[in-house]
Amino acid sequence: MKRVKVVTDSSSGLPKELEKQYEITVVPIPIQIGEESYKENVNLPADEFYRLLDGQVMPKTSSPSPGDFVEVYSQLASAASGIISIHVTAKGSGTCQSARVAADSVAERVDVHVYDSNTVSMGTGFLSIEAAKAALEGLTLDQIRDRLDAFRDKIRAFVALPTLKYLQRSGRLSHGQAIFGSLLSIKPVIEIKDGILEVVDKVRSYPRALERVAELAAGAVSKLPARVAVMHGNSYEEAVKFAEQLKERVKISQLIISEVGASLAVHGGPGMIGVVLLPE
C-alpha cells in the first residue's frame, strides 16, 4: 500500500539511525571549498571539514539544485501516495525554493508539498520525524501538513558560539562587529525565532553563554516534558556535559546528541553548542 514519503535536507542534523528508522530521505547540502565540490555527510567527513574550515579558502554552502530534488522525488514517486519535503527556514536558505521548482516539474507523476520548517537543524529534524510517524500511521498529505502546523510553532532553538570568527568569515557578521566583539570577549547567545537568527544575549565567557542557553531552554518549555536535541560542532564531550546540565532544568522525554553538519558549522565553527526543544 502506498503512503506519504518524507524528504528533508542534511542541515536537519538527523542522526543516521533515525533516518533509517523512520525511512526519511535526506538530500545533501552542497559545500564548495575552492575548486572542490562536496556533499554534506556524503563525501566530506567532519574531521576533514574542520581542517579545511581554518584554511585560506572559506567553505561556502549553497542550496541543493532543483535537479537534486527532481532525482529524489522521481525515485520515490512510484511507491508514494504523495511526498512531503521539509526544509530549513526559507528566510535563511534557498532550499525550499529549489524544492518547489522541482515539485512543479514532477507534478504529473507525484504530488509534492514543500514545507518550510521555519527553523534550523534538529527543529527541521523533529518535524521530519513527526511527518514520518504520521505517514507510517497512514495519514494523508493534508493530514500530515495539519499535524506539522501544530508542532512547528512549539519548537524553540538556542545556540552559543565560542567565537565570532566564523560568522565574520562567512559574511553573517561585519568585520568591524567581529573585531569589536572579540576585543570585548563577547560570546553571543542566539535564538532561531520565526525563521530568523536573533542575538538574544551577549556575555563575556563561553561557560556563561552555555549557562544562559540552559536558562533560556528551561524557560522556553517551563515544566512541560520536551524532546531535546543537543547539537554540537566537533565537541561531543562538551555536548554531553551540557546535556547533563539540561537534565537538571528540563524534563527531557527524549534526548538526541548529534553533530551539526558543515552547512551550519561553517557559520558557527568548532565548539558551538545549541539546543532544540519540542515541548509535548
The string over 52-70, giving b where at least 16 C-beta atoms fall within 10 Å of a residue's C-beta and e elsewhere, is bbeeeebbebebbebebbb
Q: What is the pTM of this model?
A: 0.92
Cα(10)–Cα(99) distance, integer angstroms: 14
Cα(192)–Cα(29) distance, integer angstroms: 20
Which domains are delineated in the chain? 3-29+64-152 (3.40.50.10170), 156-279 (3.30.1180.10)
In this predicted structure, what is the pLDDT of residue 49? 87
Give the pLDDT confidence of 10-46 residue by residue, as tens digits: 999 999 999 999 999 999 999 998 888 999 888 888 8
Comparing 211 with 52, the larger pLDDT belongs to 211
With residue 115 as reference, give the H or E element that holds it. strand 112-116
Q: Tell me which amino acid residue 220 is.
A: A
- pLDDT average, residue stretch 52-60: 85
Question: What average pLDDT does the structure give for the chain?
Answer: 90
**Edge-to-edge order in the sheet of strand 156-160:** 196-203, 187-193, 156-160, 273-279, 226-232, 252-259
Residue 206: which residues within 8 A CB-CB, separation 6 or more?
Answer: 160, 162, 187, 271
Q: What percent of the chain has pLDDT over 70?
A: 94
Q: What percent of the chain has pLDDT over 90?
A: 70
Residue 254 pairs in a beta bridge with 227
Residue 180 pLDDT grade (very low, low, confident, very high; cuts 50, 70, 90): very low
DSSP letter at 172 equals S
Residue 145 pLDDT grade (very low, low, confident, very high; cuts 50, 70, 90): very high
